[in-house]
Structure 1
């Protein structure tokens, strides 16, 4: 079912559930973890999901959000969900990679051509298949949230083609794929902890980094790296999951309602993400930050082909399917 057509179906399902549950159905407080603070698109979307569930069940089910790493990082939260000690969490793709290896293909540069392409992949047959395979890890996949596209920023110059990265030291996430990605593009990738990045750019340990516009803006990285270029080399969705151990104790109607609420939360998160991204871009432009949209993306795609070939060899069939999806 397409995400945008859910509202009517949900209303009907909620009415059926209200009649079916009566006064004897089990009550549940759904505890959900996120490393982000309240006000961030993912946490606000889960809060919205909680409001829907509480309304539809007349308060029988509620959602309590543990934000800002209150229950630890993403890996720790996922482990609690697998054990059934925590009902739900939102995590990055890398955290579920050890459970379903094919998710690691999403970390390859330019595996998604655009945000629209990514949505079409994860909301379609491929995304559904991968979510279903999470069950072997005691997880129920509920959907994919946006985290935007990552682009380069630095203190030296605009990046329009790979040759502009030559001689630049760029902070990347701690993953061999991203280190080699930088080398293929002509720069040098240095894995540095995110909380050390501002100082690293300020002192010249690195010349820049790569991230989405909201992260660049909210962390004030523009103060030490005033050139932002929309290379959009990584578009990696995020996943939110439910504990299968808890899920299997729920009535089928409860399961259906949670899935519908989750699907609407995905729509909400994507709307909130776009709004936050637009606001960040407006703020950056107002600050006089040099935002470069004149990027030879095809040159970057060609430069990173060896990275996709090396790290994507075992995902060859999956990548071929992804490439065939429109967008």
Structure 2
């Protein structure tokens, strides 16, 4: 029996083959495919577009990149599998979607590990980021870059959240990550795993009461039209990660591999510049639309999340990364 995932992979493989066959027959020419669930002007999409433009320019058109944004190729979990099996070449995914298969990414997603965006950037720009990127090769991927994605906060359709008890009974969308499922339960909410694309209609139909995400995604997904309360819990700074199929990577010439890695690293400040500007604009837009933004009792949220953090720190690899991350605080 053929699964939906296999159908997607087979279909994309056919698309890639047709695209390649339409290209000039120059030796070593290749069209790479990249996917993202975010919209066309999202900073991560723009950063990967920048990689493609630089790649084409520096190879004289021999290497090119075609992007499929806005979830055209399915969910992030599907994109990860398609990249691992070589059906697509590059994908940008949220670190939480990688937690189960790539355990070191858990250190990036745990609650209240990072104090700020600046703290996160210092950590992932150094040996913490390097060690996590290297870990992807164990499962058929190549880690290219880590893109930060701001502070994750709660938003809902019911009321402001000031204290963890205000979450009790709320049904909140979370990504398919054990860490976030456990965190929601510890805070008293009822976690409901679903894709980002399903969340708006789920709030409109009252299937769920809200979700958690960063401000830019809250705005770009237009969730602010359904959820009028944004609470600054800043419970996670879980970043985005750019990965490449190991099979696709190894099929490139050595000099092309080095170029792809170099351009991916150079795209990080490109993404950050776009992110900082667009996040500020997104905040202004949702507030102008009537969203009520409130501070929370941060010590109470940290205390509620502390047992979960302690549980994960029992793992030696996670504890080692945690200590290194805190060194950058």
TM-score range relative to shorter protein: 0.7 to 0.9
The alpha-carbon distance between structure 1 residues 88 and 299, as it changes in their structure 2 partners (threshold 3 A), is same
Give the corresponding residue for 1:321.
324
Give the corresponding residue for 2:44.
42
Report how far residue 200 of structure 1 moved. 4.5
| 2:115 counterpart SS class | coil
Q: Does the aligned pair in 2 maintain the 1:108–1:312 contact within 8 Å?
A: no
Report how far residue 205 of structure 1 moved. 4.6
Report how far residue 98 of structure 1 moved. 4.2
Q: Deviations over 1:250-299 (max 9, x none)?
A: 3333222222211122222222222221111111222232112x333232
Q: Deviations over 1:223-244 (max 9, x none)?
A: 4432211111121111112222
Matched, 1:103 2:105: yes
Q: Deviations over 1:156-200 (max 9, x none)?
A: 433233243345443333444323323333444344554554454
Whole-Å Cα distance in 1 between the matches of residues 199 and 100 of structure 2? 27
Q: Does the aligned pair in 2 maintain the 1:99–1:134 contact within 8 Å?
A: no
Q: List alignment gaps of at least 5 residues for structure 2.
A: 1-25
The alpha-carbon distance between structure 1 residues 284 and 271, as it changes in their structure 2 partners (threshold 3 A), is same
Matched, 1:81 2:94: no
Return the TM-score normalized by structure 2: 0.81
Report how far residue 74 of structure 1 moved. 2.6
| 1:63 counterpart SS class | strand
Aligned residues: 302
Return the TM-score normalized by structure 1: 0.81
The alpha-carbon distance between structure 1 residues 168 and 71, as it changes in their structure 2 partners (threshold 3 A), is closer
Equivalence map 1:119-158=2 (5 Å): 119-158=121-160
Whole-Å Cα distance in 2 between the matches of residues 99 and 223 of structure 1? 34
Whole-Å Cα distance in 1 between the matches of residues 119 and 195 of structure 2? 30
Select between 254-263 and 159-168 the one with higher mean Cα deviation: 159-168
| 2:31 counterpart SS class | strand
Give the corresponding residue for 2:56.
54
Give the corresponding residue for 2:298.
297
Give the corresponding residue for 2:16.
none
Select between 271-280 and 83-92 the one with higher mean Cα deviation: 83-92
Q: Does the aligned pair in 2 maintain the 1:177–1:311 contact within 8 Å?
A: no
The two structures, once aligned, show a CA RMSD in angstroms of 2.6
Matched, 1:271 2:263: no
Give the corresponding residue for 1:257.
259
Whole-Å Cα distance in 2 between the matches of residues 79 and 196 of structure 1? 20
Whole-Å Cα distance in 1 between the matches of residues 194 and 73 of structure 2? 24
- Of structures 1 and 2, the larger Rg is shown by 1
Whole-Å Cα distance in 2 between the matches of residues 192 and 256 of structure 1? 36
Report how far residue 48 of structure 1 moved. 0.8
Whole-Å Cα distance in 2 between the matches of residues 189 and 85 of structure 1? 32
Select between 198-207 and 45-54 the one with higher mean Cα deviation: 198-207
